[in-house]
Amino acid sequence: MILVTGATGGLGHETIDALLKTTPATEIAALVRDAGKAADLAQRGVEVRQADYFDYPALVQAFQGIEKVLLVSAVAFTDRLSQHRNVIDAAKEAGVKHLFYTSIQRSSDFVMPQVTESDLATEAYLKASGLMYTILRNGYYFEGLGYLIGSEVPESEIRVPAGEGKIAFVKRTDLAVATAALLTSAGHDNQEYTLTGSEAYSFHDVARELSELAGHPITYQSSEPAPYIAQKVAAGFPDFVATFFAQWADAARHGMLAGTHDTVERLLGHKPTSLREYLKATYFSTTDRS
């Protein structure tokens, strides 16, 4: 049986959606904090198990009879490492054979606070645990682009403190389908994959595509972090969240998110979602904002 954690969140839920296309629901379990948020999964025959990453005994209980666990990494600003260690230790104690961990892409040595530090420690802990492991270094979601540039079509300019940095954006549903394919196929024991889109885009590329779709010129100007953070705070984001956005941009500036890999494309059997497709569906369609 395969258990997916974070099953009430984006990636976890979408991975279960993808698993259900190829795997009987009786072979899938969902780990959630709040079963009330997982009624749709239970209805589809997925076994819903309840545990918080901080609750070690509940995790051991939830992992009984599970062969593979997909550990969807904990959210930033929440002591991710303690949570990940709990999940890894509990999986081992419960007799889980193989644990997949969703890390973040690292195409350069840049260490992003709140994200890469805990990923590096988690990966080392997992490798030393004795569990079979597969590390999935996920690229930056297309769904996170709106946080960096805003969710409306800009009038004439986008400003992000990303310099000439590029991002190999990947749509989360593409990642989910690729992850489900890895969970249900052999040959991934103690392997590490970087799961990205097929192309890396600069913010000049983003501006150019937006211009073509909008039919009026939109340019990109790299900004300094301080005015960018101030502008995000003025738009209503808490200071630490605005700073976090600037840190993602800094990671892009330093090449952390730029490498392209064909693993997602191979697992999907077709090209993953392109920048043009994502922007069109998200910024220029009244029906699909995802």
Ligand X SMILES: NC(=O)c1ccc[n+]([C@@H]2O[C@H](COP(=O)([O-])OP(=O)(O)OC[C@H]3O[C@@H](n4cnc5c(N)ncnc54)[C@H](OP(=O)(O)O)[C@@H]3O)[C@@H](O)[C@H]2O)c1
Q: How far is the CB of 173 from ligand X (least distance, A)?
A: 11
Q: How far is the CB of 138 from ligand X (least distance, A)?
A: 4
Q: How does DSSP assign 151-186, residue by residue?
A: SS--SSEEEETTTT-EE--B-HHHHHHHHHHHHTSS
Query: Nearer to ligand X by C-beta: 66 or 218?
Result: 66
Q: How far is the CB of 63 from ligand X (least distance, A)?
A: 13
Query: Nearer to ligand X by C-beta: 218 or 256?
Result: 256
Q: How far is the CB of 146 from ligand X (least distance, A)?
A: 12
- Cα 184-178-20 angle, rounded to 5 deg: 55
Integer angstrom CA distances of residue 86 from 1, 93, 98, 200: 20, 10, 15, 35
In one-letter notation, the amino acid at residue 91 is A
Residue with the shortest CB distance to ligand X = 9
* Other CB atoms within 10 Å distance of the CB of residue 224: 11
Distance CA(283)–CA(214), nearest Å, equals 9
Positions touching ligand X (CB under 6 A) are 6, 8-12, 33-34, 37, 52-54, 72-75, 83, 102, 104, 138, 140-141, 144
Q: Residue 10 in contact with residue 18, Cβ under 8 Å?
A: no
Q: How far is the CB of 33 from ligand X (least distance, A)?
A: 4
Query: Nearer to ligand X by C-beta: 65 or 146?
Result: 146
- For 265, counting Cβ atoms within 10 Å of its Cβ (0-12 exposed, 13-18 middle, 19+ buried), the class is middle
Residue 139: strand, helix, or coil: coil
- State both tokens at 253: 């500036």
DSSP-assigned letter for residue 73: P
Distance CA(229)–CA(112), nearest Å, equals 17
Query: Nearer to ligand X by C-beta: 37 or 92?
Result: 37
Q: Residue 112 in contact with residue 247, Cβ under 8 Å?
A: yes
Query: Nearer to ligand X by C-beta: 200 or 218?
Result: 200
Q: What's phi and psi for 210, nearest 5 deg? A: -60, -40
Query: Nearer to ligand X by C-beta: 105 or 202?
Result: 105
Q: How far is the CB of 46 from ligand X (least distance, A)?
A: 14
Query: Nearer to ligand X by C-beta: 51 or 158?
Result: 51
Residue 129: strand, helix, or coil: coil
Q: How far is the CB of 11 from ligand X (least distance, A)?
A: 3
